[in-house]
Structures are given as structure tokens and as C-alpha cells.
């Protein structure tokens, strides 16, 4: 009887996994074929979270280089074509140089929520760090076009095969090419760490909500990464929900302050909506 039950369970798991894979394979990629944008989802507006602003690239062809300008107005960053540069004759274009030798123009998007943060640098991210030999020129205070950033990049063309690969459309891939680093510590709204659903108590449900929020993108009751940083290390990892469980059931250390009551906080992570209502 146990053997029958085990086989039935295995069959149900197989059918369930098959249905999931079928559903995933039927999905289409909604991202643009080509372009550069803030955030991997290429939304029209990217909300700044934490102390880095990620920049992603998509291309149907191999890429040898790119350039763009980013204008800063109040708390918003916007890609701007032929607006910023060292002088009127050298204004940066928003272009991607692809394998066919033809420059591809792109519009980009905008990132909001900069606040009082200062931009300290622009550095290579995962995709560009894998390339052996390249050139990156960044100006975080261009002479023309007002407050902003200009970026120019190209791979070392002497080395054979040294390119940014085309993105895989079936996987809805986007290449993480750059990070804009911010010098900021968020101070403000009162929060209570670990109260992930904002009901005024911290229990097993909060650990579950924390996991689903961080890793599945669901059950997001509040736009506040600092509140999810349960151990207060300025990182969002599996350690955060574990702190709740260890404190609840194994007499472990409690979450970092503010925890027992709502209170002020300092964090490198963003918090746009407090869980203290």
C-alpha cells in the first residue's frame, strides 16, 4: 500500500512539473528586442532601491560598444540623446554598436527616487566583468547639458571573439552591464524589522511572507527593503527570514532594532513605504 502511495505521489509530482514547464515554455518575452535601460524589466520607470542603480542591455546581435547620456533632474535620472558631453561638438548619442556595423539608437527609460543621494561612480557589472580587454569612459560631471552622466564603452576588438553576446530571447535574457553607485544612507520613516505583513506582530507568517517577497516577488505588502533586512546587515538574503524562525522557535537572537516597537532606522537599503501604520 505504501508502495502504491509512493508511486502515486511521484506521478502527481511529475504531472505538476510537466504542467509548469509547459506553461513556462508557452510564455513570450515582453522585453524590447534591443535597448539599454535602468532595471532588468525595462519598465518605463524604474524605482531606485538601495545604493546601486543597475543598467541592463538587450540586443538581437553581438555588441561591440555603446554610448549614452543620463540627465539628472531633481530625484529622476533619464536617458538623454545628444544632450550631455564635454562641449557642443561632442554630445553623447544613445547608441549601441552591433555586429552589423550599424549604430542602433535607443530611447532608454527613467529611474526615480534618487532623493538626496550623490552619484559616486559608474562601474562594470556581471556581463562586462567577463570580457577580457575593454575600454570604459565615464564622466559624472559633464560640461554640457546640466547635471548628469556620460558613458562610452567598447570591447578590445583585437582579441578574437571579444564581444557582448546577443541576448537569448527565449530565456527573456537581459545583460547586466553597469551599476551606478550612490553614496547614501536612508534615514527616516519608522519601521519594525521582521513585521513583513504589517499586522503589528512577528510570527511564522512573517518569515513566510519575507521569503515570498524576497525570492518570489509575491506578498509584497510594503515597498520597504530596510524592513525586510531582519538582521540589519544591509543585505537581503536567506539569513533574514531565518533570523525570525530561530528567534521564534530556537531561542535565538532577536531581529535587529527597531524590532520590538516601531522606531527610526539607518540603512543603505531603501524604504518608500513604512510598515508602521
Q: Are 36 and 108 in contact (CB under 8 A)?
A: yes
Beta-bridge partner residues of 276: none
- What cell numbers appear for 245 in the block? 524562525
Provide the pLDDT confidence category of residue 21 given band limits of 50, 70 and 90: very low
CATH numeric code, 185-277: 1.10.1330.10
Task: Measure Cα distances from 46 to 31, 111, 189, 205, 267 in Å.
Answer: 14, 5, 22, 29, 20
| pLDDT band with cut points at 50, 70 and 90 for residue 93 | very high
Please tell me what DSSP assigns to residue 100.
T
pLDDT of residue 277: 67
Phi-psi region of 39 (alpha: psi -120 to 50; beta: other; left: phi over 0): left
Tracing cell 527593503 back to the chain, one arrives at 225
* Residue ranges of domains in the chain: 35-184, 185-277
What is the dihedral angle through the alpha carbons of 227, 232, 237, 241, rounded to the nearest 10 degrees? -60
Nearest to 227 by CA among 253, 199, 252: 199
| Alpha carbons 198 and 157: distance in angstroms, whole number | 54
For the ranges 7-16, 172-181, 196-205, 257-266, the lowest mean pLDDT is seen at 7-16
**What's the CA gap between 124 and 210, in Å, rounded?**
30
User: What percentage of the chain exceeds 70 in pLDDT?
Assistant: 88
pLDDT band at 132 (very low <50, low <70, confident <90, very high): confident
Whole-structure pTM over 0.75, yes or no?
Answer: no
Closest CA to 174 of 164, 182, 163: 164
Mean local confidence (pLDDT), 70-91? 94
Q: Residue 276 corresponds to which cell in the numbers above?
A: 508602521
Alpha helices (H) in the chain, listed in sequence order: 2-26, 126-129, 204-211, 225-228, 239-249
CATH architecture of 35-184: Sandwich (2.60)
Cα 175–chain centre separation: 12
103-105 vs 175-183, strand pairing mode = unpaired
Q: How would you class 208 by CB atoms within 10 Å of its CB: exposed for 0-12, middle for 13-18, buried for 19 or more? A: middle
For residue 206, give the DSSP letter.
H
Amino acid at each position: 500500500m505504501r508502495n502504491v502511495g509512493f508511486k502515486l505521489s511521484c506521478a502527481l509530482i511529475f504531472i505538476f512539473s510537466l504542467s509548469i514547464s509547459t506553461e513556462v515554455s508557452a510564455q513570450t518575452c515582453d522585453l524590447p528586442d534591443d535597448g539599454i535601460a535602468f532595471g532588468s524589466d525595462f519598465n518605463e520607470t524604474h524605482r531606485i532601491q538601495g545604493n546601486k542603480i543597475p543598467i541592463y542591455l538587450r540586443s538581437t546581435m553581438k555588441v561591440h560598444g555603446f554610448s549614452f547620456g543620463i540627465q539628472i533632474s531633481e530625484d529622476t535620472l533619464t536617458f538623454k540623446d545628444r544632450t550631455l558631453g564635454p562641449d557642443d561638438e561632442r554630445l553623447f548619442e544613445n547608441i549601441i554598436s552591433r555586429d552589423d556595423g550599424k549604430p542602433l539608437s535607443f530611447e532608454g527609460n527613467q529611474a526615480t527616487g534618487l532623493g538626496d543621494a550623490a552619484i559616486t561612480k559608474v562601474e562594470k557589472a556581471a556581463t562586462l566583468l567577463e570580457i577580457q580587454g575593454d575600454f570604459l569612459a565615464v564622466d559624472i560631471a559633464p560640461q554640457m547639458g546640466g547635471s548628469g552622466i556620460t558613458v562610452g564603452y567598447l570591447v578590445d576588438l583585437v582579441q578574437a571573439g571579444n564581444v557582448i553576446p546577443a541576448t537569448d530571447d527565449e530565456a527573456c535574457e537581459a545583460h547586466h552591464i553597469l551599476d551606478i553607485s550612490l553614496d547614501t544612507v536612508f534615514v527616516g520613516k519608522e519601521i519594525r524589522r521582521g513585521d513583513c505583513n504589517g499586522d503589528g506582530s512577528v510570527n511564522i507568517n512573517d518569515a513566510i511572507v519575507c521569503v515570498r517577497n524576497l525570492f518570489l516577488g509575491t506578498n509584497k505588502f510594503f515597498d520597504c527593503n530596510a524592513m525586510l533586512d531582519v538582521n540589519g546587515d544591509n543585505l537581503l538574503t536567506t539569513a533574514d527570514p531565518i533570523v525570525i524562525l530561530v528567534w521564534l522557535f530556537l531561542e535565538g537572537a532577536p531581529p535587529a532594532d527597531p524590532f520590538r516597537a516601531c522606531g527610526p532606522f539607518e540603512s543603505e537599503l531603501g524604504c518608500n513605504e513604512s510598515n508602521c501604520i
